[in-house]
Structures are given as structure tokens and as C-alpha cells.
Structure 1
Amino acid sequence: MATPTPLPDTIQRNIGVDGFGGELLSMFLAAFLIGNIMLAMTGVAGPWAKRKITAAFTDRIAVNRVGPFGLLIIVADAVRLLSKELIVPEGADRPAFDLAPIVLAGSAMLAFAVIPMGNGIQLADPETGLVFVFAIASIASLGLLMGGYASNNKYSLMGGLRAVAQNIAYEIPLVVTAASVVLFTGSLQLSEIVAIQQNTTLANVAGIRIPAWFAFVNPFAFVLFVVANLAEVGRNPFDTPEAPTEIVGGYQTEYSSVYFVLFYLGEFLHIFLGGAIIATLFLGGPAGPFLPGFVWFVIKIWAVFLFTQWCRSAVPRVRIDQLIEIGWKGMLVLSFANLVLTAAILGVTGL
């Protein structure tokens, strides 16, 4: 299967501008397009879809007064939040306070640059794409800690420390589980990981070809990765960094106006990024019958989003000590066991 042409190259070829200026313009246009697609999905997910899904799970009525199906609540919330006064706590570390929400949202946006979304919709395809995604996404922990520390609020500081402890405890199992996929593919290049899942067949049932998605090939690794991802994006039962019943709102307690919007935006961007990584590593990326690849990619990341919201509504939060214990004594051990078992099976079978 031929490697698709990256989106900037396609745009440059179509606009007919050569040289460095053409490359720069095409990269800007491609990044602008993908960035706005992700922001649009986040804008729908945060103010509207989250409320509708939670209401459906908890047998309540969600937003339904502003516009058809309540969709104009997206505009209403944007105007309401952006028009509020930005209040900065006395004694706050202003540079860190200002940068924290930008770091959180920016890390997710940057990580989308190497995700293959189908039909050549990919900004770049480096050979170390998987490492790049994890490295950039992990910067979010720094943003959460900065926000908690800079707020000059003990509840916020506690939330920031919880976020770092949680991310360290679950990011290692996340990376180790992803390494088991790399053992199958022999590559860190995300387009190659997707291509291998599309080119191989797990089985043929009644004439229907079942692709060798790694969720089918190694379901144990898939479950481990999904659980660790819940902790990374801070969804139940792992939402302790912002637990309202314990620490008010955690690292974002003192944030308002546009800064709160950026924190909220960053949270949902990371949920979609987690869904994009799961789709790429375990669900064949943009692969799927009949519909265009990009449509399938969007369906898969929205399915992961739906799962995270179900967990938020149905699964009780664990205590911080339980969370750390599950991460270090449970997930870490299981992820290494999965890696060793995968290596042993591949060595015996010679795959």
C-alpha cells in the first residue's frame, strides 16, 4: 500500500506555488484546516454533546431551549464565558498563570500533526511519529502543574500535584502497551502502523474479511490502553485532579473567562487525541467499508469520546491512593506482562 501524500504537499501542488513561500503557505493552510476541524468537534463536544450524553445516561433533560436541539448553547456559552471578567488571584505567579492553559490546549493541537486521518489528511509523517505523539501529549502535565502552582491556592496546587502523580503512574503503562503494537509492526511511523492493519487479514467469516486490527489481534493490550487513556484524559474513575467534592475544581479552580475556556478546550482536545491514538494503534486508523477514510476516523474518535462520557456518568471515582496503587501495582505490571508475552508469541511464531 503506497504511503499517502501529506496534506501540505497536496495543497502546494493544487495552489501551484513553488519554493519556500509555497511550502510555508501550504503548511499554514493544512494546519489551519486540521486545527479548525478539531476545534469545531471540541466546540460541539464540550458545551452540547457532553450534556446530551450525560443526560441520556442519567435519565434527565439536557439543553433544549436555545436553538434546535439546544445546539445554539454552543454560541451562548462562548459569548457568556468570553465576556466574563478575567480574575487573577492575588499573589499569583502571573507568567505561569497565563501560560498554563495555552500549554494544555497547545500540546493536544500539536500532537494531531502526525496523526493519519485518511485520504492523505496528515500534516507530517515522521519515522518516529508514535514517540512524537506521546512526547508532545505529555507536556499537558506541565500545564496542569503550572496552573495549580501559579494560582496561589492550596486546592489548585493539590489538583496540579495529583495530575502529575496520575499522569506519571499511567503514562508508563500507556507507552509500554503501545510498544507491544510496535513489536507487531516493527515501526514507529503511524502511517505504517495503519497500513499494516489494513493490509493483513485476521480471518474470513462467511466471505467477509475481518481486518487484523490490533484490537482483535491483542484485545488485552487494547483494554489496557483504553483504561490507561481514561486516566490520562482525567475521566472517571480517574478524575481526581479536579474532583469537585474534594478539591473544588483542582488546578482550574481560580481560572475564569478565556483562560477557563482554554482549559476546558484543552481537556476535550486531549480526549479526542486519546481517541485518535486508540483508533490509529488498535482500530485501523481511518480504515472502514463504504465511507471515506476520514469519516471512519471521526466516527472512531467520537466512539471513544462516548465511552469516556459513559464512564463519567456510570463509574464512581476512586480515591487518590487507590488511583496510584492501581497504576503502579496493577497497570504497570500488566503492561509489562503484555509486552513480554507479545514478544514471546512473536518469537515462537516467527511473525
Structure 2
Amino acid sequence: MPDGPAFEFLAALIASSVIAAALLGLVAVSGIWGKRKITAAFTDRIAVNRHGPFGLLIIVADAVRLLSKELIVPEGVDRPAWDIAPIVMAGSALLGFAVIPMGNGLHIADPEVGLAYVFAVASIASVGLVMAGYSSNNKYSLLGGLRAVAQNLAYEIPLILTAASVVIFAGTLRMSGIVEAQATTLFSVAGIGIPSWYAFVNPFAFVLFMAANLAEVGRNPFDIPEAPTEIVGGWQTEYSSVYFVLCYLSEFIHIFLGGAIIATIFLGGPAGPVLPGVVWFVIKMGAVYLFTQWARSAVPRVRIDQLIEIGWKGMLVLSIANLVLTAVIVGITV
């Protein structure tokens, strides 16, 4: 087979294009059609059912509707920052998938610091939120941007500390190494082996990470940066047409990136019986997506002061306690 830097670059480009296309297709189905259907099921409604079989053609209708709308640029915006912000937010989430193992050998890269890389590129979205908020020349947008920064700071630290407890168990930051560390059997019940997924090994850390992830992706009760009943639409108030599509797209890509991280570090990644690994990975990622939509429909929004207090006084303390306890347990057992 051909070898060399040029071939590796071409292979990486093709692989990244395929993964990006698959993700965008998944986001289109889940964000436009699935979100409506899931919310309708929770609120005893029917949702879309007129456009094609099961209403699936609403995806095409909405895409044409949004992309054909006029792009309205308000007076006084900081145009370069206002233009770049949606691209920064969507791009940061797509970059995170570069090191996620989606199947046996199915990942673009597998660096030693894979988990640190994912958190680093995902946090770039906070910069995009700030850019969108201050550049829009709108007080509601500015408030949404400031709320987003305050929320991300309050919950990203507990998120990383909780992930660090998984690193202590696995002994590596490499994403494939974390998956391999969960490949053994934890214990058996009636002849059925329970895998040593870190969701079973350390369920407290799993719950903490799931809660912090809700805050990072802006789902109830932590959708404060957008809060339509208080600040219209927050940081994205002044965006329309293709820019609004990018903002909406970035929101759902980040939800799936959060699901991909949870599937990888707590649910064994692509591991599973009978079905191919990539199918199990999508199922696990989809389960996290369903949880976020359940939270959106069932959990009431908290106030901004309550949100910050939960993050700094609750989640941070619990994540530090979990990290210390994990270190003690691993130190005693090794």
C-alpha cells in the first residue's frame, strides 16, 4: 500500500470528511426532527407528521426555509467577531471528534493526551459565545454571553476533575487506552458478565459527569445563557439565516460530543455484544442525547444565582471529593 506524509494526509482528510458528514446528518435528524418528536412524546402531542413518512421531510423543509432567509445584520455589530463566532462554536465541537474511538481502529488520531485534547478544543466554544454576545450590540445578547462564561467556568472544572478520576483508574489519557481498560469483566451475575465500565466501577463520578455535561451543553436546568423567557434568546438573539443554522448546529454537535465523551470514558466506548462496535457507540451516544432531551422537557430552569452556587459550592466540592477518594482507592488496591 502507498505510504508517506502525503498519503497519510489524504487518508486523514477523507476520514475526517466522512465522520463530519455522518455527524452533520445525525444532527440534522436529531435536531430538526428527533427533538420535536421526543418533546412531543413527553408532552402528549403528535409533532411533525405531514412532511413525508413520519414527517422526516421536515428536515429538508426547515433547511430550505432557514438557508433561504435574509441574513439581517443589525447596526453597530462588531462585524468580524460577529461573523466568526458561529464558526468557532461549531468547529470546536467537530474538532473534538478527531480523537474519539468510534469502533475498532475507527478514529482519525489517537494521541497520548487524547482526553485533554477533547476538553481543550471543546472549551474553545466559550470564546465563540463571548464573541457572539459582545459583538451583537444587544444587551440581551451580552447578558447571554456573560451567563455562558460564568456557567462554563463553574461547571467545566468539575467536569474535568471528574474525568481525571477516570484517568486515575485507567492510568492513561489516551482515549483508546481508556476504552481498553474497560474491556475486562467486573463481576458475573447468574452467568452474565458485567463489564468493568467506569459507570459501574464509579457510579458517583458518572452521575456527576452527566450533571456537569448538562450545564456544558446548556440543557435544563442549566439553559440560562439562552433563557427565552428572560433574555429573548441570549447570545444568539441577533443571528438569522445561515448564521442561526450554524449556532443551532453547534449546540447539537456539542450535545453529541458530550455523549461521545461519556460513552468513551464511562460506557466502554464501542464495546458491546453481537452488533458492530460503531453501532454500539451510536446507541450509547444517542442514549445520552435522549437524556438531555428528557431534562429539557422535565426539569425546570434554575435561577442564575442558584446555577452558580450549585456549580461552585456543590459540583466542585463533590468532584474534588470524588477525585481524592478515587486516588485513595487506587493507591490502596494497586
Q: Report how far residue 61 of structure 1 moved.
A: 1.6
Aligned AA (2:169): F
* 2:196 corresponds to: 212
Paired with 1:71 and 1:49, the residues of 2 have a C-alpha distance of 9
Paired with 1:64 and 1:347, the residues of 2 have a C-alpha distance of 56
1:107 aligned onto 2:92: yes
The CA deviation string for residues 2-43 of structure 1, in whole angstroms up to 9 with x for no partner, is xxxxxxxxxxxxxx4433332221111000011111111001
Paired with 2:280 and 2:8, the residues of 1 have a C-alpha distance of 29
TM-score by length of 1: 0.94
Alignment of 1:161-310 (within 5 A): 161-198=146-183, 200-310=184-294
Question: Helix, strand or coil for the counterpart of 2:182?
Answer: helix
Aligned AA (1:152): N
Match of 2:311 among 314, 327, 330: 327
* 1:30 corresponds to: 15
Aligned-pair RMSD on alpha carbons? 0.7
Question: Helix, strand or coil for the counterpart of 1:242?
Answer: coil
Aligned AA (2:69): K
The CA deviation string for residues 97-143 of structure 1, in whole angstroms up to 9 with x for no partner, is 00000000000000100000012210000000000000000000111
Paired with 1:275 and 1:179, the residues of 2 have a C-alpha distance of 17
The CA deviation string for residues 132-186 of structure 1, in whole angstroms up to 9 with x for no partner, is 0000000001111110111000000000000000000000000000000011011
* 1:57 corresponds to: 42
Paired with 1:20 and 1:277, the residues of 2 have a C-alpha distance of 29
The CA deviation string for residues 308-330 of structure 1, in whole angstroms up to 9 with x for no partner, is 00000000000000000000000
Aligned AA (2:224): T
TM-score by length of 2: 0.99
Paired with 1:288 and 1:339, the residues of 2 have a C-alpha distance of 28
Match of 1:48 among 7, 30, 33: 33
Alignment of 1:3-152 (within 5 A): 16-152=1-137
Question: Helix, strand or coil for the counterpart of 2:238?
Answer: coil
Q: Report how far residue 201 of structure 1 moved.
A: 1.4
The CA deviation string for residues 269-308 of structure 1, in whole angstroms up to 9 with x for no partner, is 0000000000001000000110000000000000000000
1:156 aligned onto 2:134: no
Is there any run of 5+ residues in structure 2 with no aligned partner, and where?
Answer: none
Is there any run of 5+ residues in structure 1 with no aligned partner, and where?
Answer: 1-15
Paired with 1:257 and 1:204, the residues of 2 have a C-alpha distance of 54
How high is the sequence identity, in percent, across the aligned residues?
A: 76
Aligned AA (2:159): L
Paired with 2:45 and 2:54, the residues of 1 have a C-alpha distance of 14
Paired with 1:205 and 1:86, the residues of 2 have a C-alpha distance of 59
Aligned AA (1:113): A
Aligned AA (1:21): A
Paired with 2:125 and 2:135, the residues of 1 have a C-alpha distance of 15
Question: Helix, strand or coil for the counterpart of 2:32?
Answer: helix
